[in-house]
Amino acid sequence: MSERLQMFMKQKRQMIQEGWSVEQVLGPLEMYPTVNSCNSMTDSHSMTPNVCEWVVSMMSWMNIGRHPERMAMTLLGVLFLTWAIVPSEKNYQAMPPWMRPTPTQIIVPHPAWIDMIPWPEIRDFFIRFADQSHGMEVLQTFVSSLSVNWNSLLSNVAVEIPNTNMLALSQSFEVYIRDLGNWSLDPAVLHVYPDLAGMACFAPIASRSSRLDKMDGQYMFP
């Protein structure tokens, strides 16, 4: 995973140096981008996927079953990679403060998968102390154990863009997931990494209703 991520960022930086436009490299600049463009994966430059397409592919590979969490992690991934490829002040400010690289991330070489973890203290912990040789397994543990605790209807995650057949993340959902206080990890993570106690909110993941299961495929990634 780290090698793929590093290779992707290197490729995109090289494309910019070769004269590709930022929009071609990153993807649509408005609404980073729509749910539909993330979902379709039908961009004409499919051999060189844009940032959103690549992040969606990564999230699909990690098999995040709950769609609010998948959309939340997709947004974070897009925002972080956008800054990592084009490190402008605008792209830096677009990230939630807690997703911005810590001094440890900037100074200490580390596997790229660590940058995808939402909690800054946990990122620093894995850089400084943890065995980093099992990155894929660690990242899978986190994405399968995290929750954004979205209690509203799943249909409120995305809204229809007027005069189009496209969906975009709703403003209320984006504001919600930009608050790290709404994120939590299942306490089972502490059985594997007890040193993480106090670095995140730990709460059991609530089970989904059959209604939400039905709506999952209707509104988000099938």
Q: 71-129, pLDDT tens digit by residue?
A: 899 899 889 999 999 899 999 999 999 999 999 999 999 888 899 899 999 999 999 98
Contact 34, 166 (CB under 8 A): yes
Contact 73, 63 (CB under 8 A): no
What is d(CA 220, CA 222) in angstroms, rounded to the nearest whole number?
A: 6
Q: Which of 10-14, 111-115, 199-203, 207-211 has the lowest mean pLDDT?
A: 207-211
> What pLDDT score was predicted for residue 190?
93
Q: Which of 166-170, 191-195, 208-212 has the lowest mean pLDDT?
A: 208-212
Q: Hey, what long-range contacts does 82-90 have (CB within 8 A, 24 or more apart)?
A: 82/26, 82/32, 82/51, 84/9, 84/115, 85/9, 85/12, 85/13, 85/16, 85/25, 85/26, 85/51, 86/16, 86/22, 86/25, 86/26
Q: Please give the model's pTM, rounded to 2 decimal places.
A: 0.80
What is d(CA 44, CA 62) in angstroms, rounded to the nearest whole number?
A: 25
Contact 142, 65 (CB under 8 A): no
> What pLDDT score was predicted for residue 134?
62
- Dump pLDDT digits (tens) for 174-188: 999 999 999 999 999
What is d(CA 143, CA 157) in angstroms, rounded to the nearest whole number?
A: 19
pLDDT band at 216 (very low <50, low <70, confident <90, very high): very low
Contact 150, 157 (CB under 8 A): yes
Examine the pLDDT at 199 and tell me if it is beyond 90: yes
Q: Which of 218, 101, 80 is nearest to 153 (CA)?
A: 218
Contact 72, 170 (CB under 8 A): no
Examine the pLDDT at 214 and tell me if it is beyond 60: no
Contacts of 130 (CB under 8 A, 6+ apart): 138, 193
pLDDT band at 7 (very low <50, low <70, confident <90, very high): confident
Listed in order, strand segments (DSSP E) in 133-198 are 146-147, 158-160, 167-169, 184-185
- Dump pLDDT digits (tens) for 146-171: 999 999 888 888 888 787 777 778 89
Q: Which helix (H) or strand (E) holds 39?
A: helix 35-40
> What pLDDT score was predicted for residue 221?
27
Examine the pLDDT at 210 and tell me if it is beyond 70: no
Q: Tokens 């992707």 map to which residue?
A: 8
- Dump pLDDT digits (tens) for 113-123: 899 899 999 99
> What pLDDT score was predicted for residue 31?
43
User: If 0-12 CB within 10 Å is exposed, 13-18 middle and 19+ buried, where does residue 53 land?
Assistant: buried
- The residues facing 160 across adjacent strands are 167
> What pLDDT score was predicted for residue 2?
64
What is d(CA 4, CA 218) in angstroms, rounded to the nearest whole number?
A: 31
- Dump pLDDT digits (tens) for 13-60: 888 888 888 887 887 654 444 455 455 443 434 457 778 778 877 777
